[in-house]
A and B are shown apart, each in its own frame.
Chain A
Amino acid sequence: MSSITTKHPADTMILIVDDDNVTRMTLQKVLEKSGYQVNSVDSGEKAIQTCVDRLPDLVLLDVMMPGLDGYETCAALRNFANYNVLPILILTGLDDMDSIDKAFQSGGTDFITKPFNWPLLTQRVRYALRTKELFNELNTSQKKLTKAQNIARIGYWEYNPATDIVTLSKETLILLGLFKEEYTLDSFLDNVSTIEGLQIKSSIKKAIATATSYQLEHSFTSGPGLELTISHYAEPSQQYNETILIGTFQDITERVEAENKIYFHRYFDEDTSLPNKEHLLLQLTKVIDNDSNDSLTAVAYLSFDKLRSIGTTLGNDFVNTFLITSSRLILDNIPEIKDIARIGNSSIGFLIKNTHSKDQIESICSALIELFRSPVRIDETDYHTTVNIGITIHPFDDDTYHLFDNAATAHKRCVTMDGSQYLFFNQEMDTQANELIELEKKMRLALTNNEFCAFFQPQIDTASNRLTGMEALARWTESDGNIIYPDQFIPLAEDTEMIIELGKEILLQACQFSKYLQDQQLGNVRVGVNLSAMQFADKKLLDDIKNILNDTGLEPALLEIEITESTAMTDIKHAVDTLNKIRKMGIKTSMDDFGTGYSSLSYLQKLPLDTLKIDQSFIRPIGANGEGSEIAKTIIAMGHSLNMHLIAEGAEEKYHYQLLKDQGCHEVQGYYFSKPVSAKDFEYFVREELESKF
């Protein structure tokens, strides 16, 4: 508490109320000599009037007065608001015990007996004034304390073990939303959970037994039913030979909520509420730190094939739902996986702890892959996806802090590989990963330098033996003339979304070239252009195609858009919708690599397709005497029954062409006629070679 700041006497107003003017005058002069400001009146009525105008700091009040006497005046002054701290000194006769008693009852602060002891009188006045200041200070500091307690949301409580009574302060009552001040311990603990109740009881017991304090944080159901978090402190205290507990309750609900919020933002993904990478890292660090045995910990990075392109069409909400559903699936079906997190937009990470062999980890990965062979069902719709998993094993890959990066590298490599859906990290990959980064840089530069160009492979009509179409294929020709093939840059382009820009460029060149051939009177050569899954999902696709057709002036019927089975199956609704729109523009639609995916006939029928392209893998192995041609024949027959135009790829021999022609395949494409060549070479091919071939 601050030191008492006594008012300067000159700022102190003393009111004298006495009907005897000699006494009044004497008091006034004496007090004025002590430096006080003095106002004197001769009646109670005038005293009250004066107080209304200006509240004095002290009143000297005579008892016996005509009109309102001293007691009545005193009581009247006390009834004024804020007058309860005003010192009122009653002037009374020494012999009159009765009047002294009455003075107190009517609210007098003190009494001064007549005849006055003058030196003592000024001292009494000084004391009364100081008491008032003290009282004011206390009052102010109590108000401040109450206010501080309200702000800090603190309240006091006491517990007397002898009587088993918990007593709560006014602040505590407000804090906890309770009305009763006293409870038995058990009835008070009804507001906390059973476990916390037991914990509190044992803390109380221990505090009393060992004379130590304790602090607990626990929940508390407030009177109105709010769940509060309370910080609860108590210490034993001696009171009249009894040990009681005194303590505080502080409502830290908001603080805890804020802490939880911070914790959530740090360790959980906001969109899915799944743990995030930070969380998984924390789990990993714990495992590694506690690694006293020789168990292995696998860190894995898992992505869902095509999820990113699905996200482009169906939006992030879908991706979020997909990740939540898939994570749930994993946790429910693979008991070895307990720590899972979202670590990328369309990828999750997980740990496999306490394993003892690589085989064990491999079998868990196999189980995972098997799990996602069945479609993921969301809102009554099945979504087909495949997973790719990159794995690294601690302590085999010893660099703790790079375990995640290593898993990601293995994953990236796994995605670009055919066949296996999971891959373990090795050092070689790291080098390759660095090469990939270099490649990405090179590729971005190549895009701006127009190093990507369309190559073309002819498609021959089997009925007329004439060139009717061509497929456009992307090639990267470096400045030194070195040609890079799509398998080396398409996965990276898809990974980095450069595929959209690249795809647009190839589409433009393809349309330009077909138009050029037409302008050169070299015939109407239809051009097939592949769309990657990401391009196909791109919202701007239709506008881009329209603009390119407008800009190049190519007839839409000379353009054929090719998508793969997996692109179509990723989101069948979107595929049907987009293909219909493409067809409406007059453009042909085609399914590329038919037979390699998992599309069923029923799906195939739903898709608005003009053409099926039979994958080369069904053609190339066919022998000279037709051996191994069953699948090709079946596909052709099926295509006929679906009334589809058929183009076979991978014809390398004349007998391939003959067989396909015999089976009624409409067009054939392959090395037998030409490998994919540059526009310049293709033009030459068109001009010179086509006729001579037959």
Chain B
Amino acid sequence: MSNNNINITTINELKEILEDDIFSLFQEFRSNAADIIKKLKSAADNNNTNDVLHLAHTIKGSSGNLGLKNISDISQQIETSLRLQDETDIASLISKLETSITSTLAELTEMELLK
């Protein structure tokens, strides 16, 4: 199964190591993600670039490690933009990230990695 949002190899490797423990990781990711999106929006509204950068970096890391490629890529774009001090697209990137999270989580549910 090939998917642009998800790096299936990473997930399979994790699954092999963690077996059923993998479910709790995605659950944790889901509850964290909601929180992070909320924080991201509020930081962006307040023009708190540092917080935005840090939150984007965090979600990039955790999603990347779990093989959630699309989320990780968008987070990376936010991080890169901010490092280049280009804040023009940040708001749209954040909403793009939110969309990606929603669709990725749906996909994970479909793959029976999330309940």
Contact = CB atoms under 8 A, between A and B. Distances in A.
A22 B28 contact: yes
B111 interface: no
B37 to A, nearest CB: 14
Contact of A66 (B19, B28, B54): B54
A115 B10 contact: yes
A114 interface: yes
A20 B61 contact: yes
Interface stretch (B62-70, B84-92, B94-102): B62-70
B18 A23 contact: no
Interface string A352-378: 000000000000000000000000000
B68 to A, nearest CB: 9
Given A33-B18, A115-B72, A25 B65 contact: no
B13 A115 contact: no
Most buried by B among A20, A30, A118, A122: A118
A23 B62 contact: yes
A116 interface: yes
B54 A64 contact: yes
B57 to A, nearest CB: 6
B56 to A, nearest CB: 11
B115 to A, nearest CB: 17
Contacts, number: 59
A30 B72 contact: no
A115 B65 contact: yes
B28 A118 contact: no
Contact of B65 (A23, A33, A64, A122): A23
B103 interface: no
B29 to A, nearest CB: 5
Most buried by A among B14, B16, B58: B58
B32 A22 contact: yes
Contacts of B17: 30, 33-34, 118-119, 122
B110 interface: no
A19 interface: yes
B57 A64 contact: yes
B21 interface: yes
Contacts of A26: 14, 25, 62, 65-66
Interface residues of B, number: 23
Interface string B8-31: 001001101111010011001100
B64 A114 contact: yes
A406 to B, nearest CB: 97
A21 interface: yes
A29 B24 CA distance: 10
A30 B19 CA distance: 10
A23 B54 CA distance: 14
A115 B14 contact: no
Contacts of A114: 61, 64-65
Contacts of B72: 115
A22 B32 CA distance: 8
Contacts of B57: 64
Given A66-B54, A118-B10, A23 B21 contact: no
Contact of A29 (B21, B32, B62): B21
Given A115-B72, A118-B10, A20 B58 contact: yes
Contacts of B67: 115
Nearest to A62: B61
Interface string B42-73: 00000000000010011001101111000010
A298 B72 CA distance: 109
A22 B29 contact: yes
Nearest to A27: B65
Given A29-B25, A64-B54, A64-B57, A22 B18 contact: no
18 contacts: A20-B58, A20-B62, A22-B66, A23-B62, A25-B25, A30-B14, A34-B17, A64-B54, A114-B61, A115-B10, A115-B64, A115-B65, A115-B72, A118-B13, A118-B14, A118-B17, A119-B13, A119-B16
- In the A-B complex, the 4 residue pairs with the smallest Cβ-Cβ separation, listed nearest first, are A115-B64, A22-B62, A20-B58, A118-B13
Interface of A: 19-23, 25-26, 29-30, 33-34, 62, 64, 66, 114-119, 122
Given A25-B28, A34-B17, A117-B13, 20 more contacts: A19-B58, A20-B58, A20-B62, A21-B28, A22-B29, A26-B25, A29-B18, A29-B21, A29-B25, A30-B18, A33-B17, A33-B19, A33-B21, A62-B61, A114-B61, A115-B72, A116-B65, A119-B16, A119-B17, A122-B17
